Amino acid sequence: MKRKVLFILSCLIFTIFSAIVSSLLGAMNISWEDLMRSESVESRVFFELRIPRILLGLMVGGSLAWSGALAQGLFRNPIVDPGLIGITAGCSLFASIAIVLGASIPFLHSIWSTVVFSFLGGISSSFIIFFFAKSKGRTDVFSLLLSGIAVNAICFSAIGILSYIANEAQLRNLSLWNMGSLGGASWSNLKSFSVFFILPIFVSPLIAKQLNVFILGEREANHLGVSTEFLKTIVILLIGVSVGACISLVGNIGFVGLAVPHIVRLAIGQDYKYLLLTSYLLGGGLLCLADGICRIVIAPSEIPVGIATALLGSPFFLSLIRKRMNHI
């Protein structure tokens, strides 16, 4: 118990540290004296650009890590994340449709409508996965995973077609979207989507106990009084809403949902009472810090944070596969 408390406190301190450090990083040096002058350019950059970006990084990183922990618990598989079950691909496809065909569709002209459309893509893919995995009133977890893989393949094929017919400007926008970036953060999109990012904090205590029992096996969980059908439905919908909100605002940011729950699990075990919220804390801190570093590596330009998380996450994923093979 003492170890868990210490680790959770460490994650909290790390997240606060990441937010403070990230607020100081950027192409423009901002001093405390600048912040005191409310009309200065530095003050406006800090409060209107950096602070929303830091908050968005904390909430997106937290939501992705939280969703990854949920997916791994539902599928009882440590190498599952929301990207593998088709939800991320659904968001990307709808965003790609808006970017390439938006000029021909009256309600998809603005970037804001692209965000909303992408969010609907995540929700739609969740329902499609469920539709194909459900039979005779029962949802098979293995079929859920296979449906997700099929949805992934269809969405990426469609994105390939859209990329082929896109003009040069649209192709550049598509590439930027797929790299993932927090550069579009603003107070208005935070205000509109914050309910989806804060949702995990309130939902986690309500489902943690059922997920702990579900790990034992679906049949065992049923015997112990857990409504497994309801649990599977609510978990997929929560992942769809949470990841849909993230991807629609920042594009594809991979591996946070895969790596962070593993780090937490190695440190404090797989008790979902602690795992979910600790993953949220650590995921937020990691993404916020990674984004801050990406802003200064080639300043005044910046590296899309999705590239950095993929670079760091891929070796971690390979080590997981290797470790798993050694145990077979």
Across the range 144-158, mean pLDDT stands at 86
Q: Which of 74, 76, 77, 20 is nearest to 50 (CA)?
A: 20
Q: What is the spatial distance between Cα 305 and Cα 295, in angstroms, rounded to a whole number? A: 9
The answer to whether residue 17 scores a pLDDT higher than 90 is: yes
The pLDDT tens digits for 31-75 are 777 777 767 788 888 888 899 999 999 999 999 999 999 888 888
CA distances from 250 to 176, 219, 322 (A): 10, 39, 31
Beta bridge partners of residue 135, listed in sequence order: 138
Q: What is the spatial distance between Cα 88 and Cα 83, in angstroms, rounded to a whole number? A: 5
The pLDDT tens digits for 159-217 are 889 888 888 888 888 888 788 888 888 888 788 788 888 887 788 888 888 888 888 88
Q: Which residue has the higher pLDDT, 263 or 106?
A: 263
Residue 234: Cβ within 10 Å count: 16
**Average pLDDT over the chain, rounded to an integer:** 83
Tokens of 146: 């296979």
- Lowest mean per-residue pLDDT among 60-74, 161-175, 262-276, 309-323: 309-323
DSSP letter assigned to residue 48 = I
The pLDDT tens digits for 69-121 are 988 888 877 777 777 778 888 888 888 888 888 767 766 666 667 777 777 88
Structure confidence at residue 109 (pLDDT): 63
Q: Which residue has the higher pLDDT, 80 or 257?
A: 257
Structure confidence at residue 108 (pLDDT): 62
Tokens of 15: 């997240």
Beta bridge partners of residue 139, listed in sequence order: 134
Structure confidence at residue 54 (pLDDT): 93
Which of 13-22, 121-130, 184-193, 313-322 is most confident? 13-22
The answer to whether residue 321 scores a pLDDT higher than 70 is: no
Q: What is the spatial distance between Cα 150 and Cα 207, in angstroms, rounded to a whole number? A: 28
- Nearby residues of 232 by Cβ (< 8 Å), 6 or more positions away: 74, 139, 141, 144
Structure confidence at residue 93 (pLDDT): 87
* pLDDT-above-90 percentage for the chain: 13
